[in-house]
Amino acid sequence: MELALFCGLEGAPTFLVPIINPPFADNSPHLPSLLSMAMTEKEKLNARYERIYTQLEGLLRNTGNLISRMATVVALLHHKMPHFFWTGFYLLDKGELIAGPYQGPLACQVLEKNSGVCWAGILRRSTIVVPDVHEFPGHIACDSRSNSEIVIPLLGKNDQPWAVLDVDSQKRDAFSEIDKQWLEKIVRLIPPQE
């Protein structure tokens, strides 16, 4: 490997100086690996969320309609995130969790009360990350192909939960702290409801 640098003093001609002509083999631990120079998977995921967030900020200005905004959020997330298998909202309606806008395979319309991951998000009022849904007591399997899940509650003005964003993946342990942080930020783009 050979790296070169253009050097030039003000007014002096610019010329090429070889700065590395390493005296070690390409597999040497001293050689900066190509991987460390390329974007890591985490950086790529962050950059993707950043783009989605910016796009959503613009799109959600087009209407104040709740259902339209929720539909826009799930459509964009679902189609831009390869690890999302089912992406949608469940809304609290008269004490029941009812399917709202979603993308992916057909899902349960009503979730059995106080059972499963979505209800856990409502009851705990905090994000639930489930690396393996088969180990989550009471998990409701709307589709047997789901293996991991993340649920983010949406809190109203009085801090009461009124909906959840639910994402399933076919991959085990698909959701990281990066997904959690960004999805929590994204749901805050939906105006809090009573």
Hey, what are 12's tokens?
A: 């002096």
Whose Cβ is closer to ligand SME: residue 168's or residue 190's?
168
Q: With CB under 6 A as the contact rule, which of the stretches 22-30, 57-65, 112-120, 172-180 interacts with ligand SME?
A: 112-120
Q: With CB under 6 A as the contact rule, which of the stretches 27-35, 41-49, 136-144, 174-182 interacts with ligand SME?
A: 136-144
Q: With CB under 6 A as the contact rule, which of the stretches 3-11, 27-35, 49-57, 137-145 interacts with ligand SME?
A: 137-145
Whose Cβ is closer to ligand SME: residue 51's or residue 113's?
113
Site map 63..102 versus ligand SME, x via CB under 6 A: -----------------------x----------------
Q: Is 128 in the site for ligand SME (CB under 6 A)?
A: no
Instruction: List the one residue from 45, 66, 75, 107 that touches ligand SME (CB under 6 A).
Output: 107
- Report how far residue 77's alpha carbon sits from residue 82's, in angstroms, rounded to the nearest whole number: 9
Q: Is 118 in the site for ligand SME (CB under 6 A)?
A: yes
Whose Cβ is closer to ligand SME: residue 60's or residue 81's?
81
Task: Count CA atoms within 13 Å of residue 41 on its CB side.
Answer: 7
Least separation in angstroms between CB 119 and ligand SME: 6
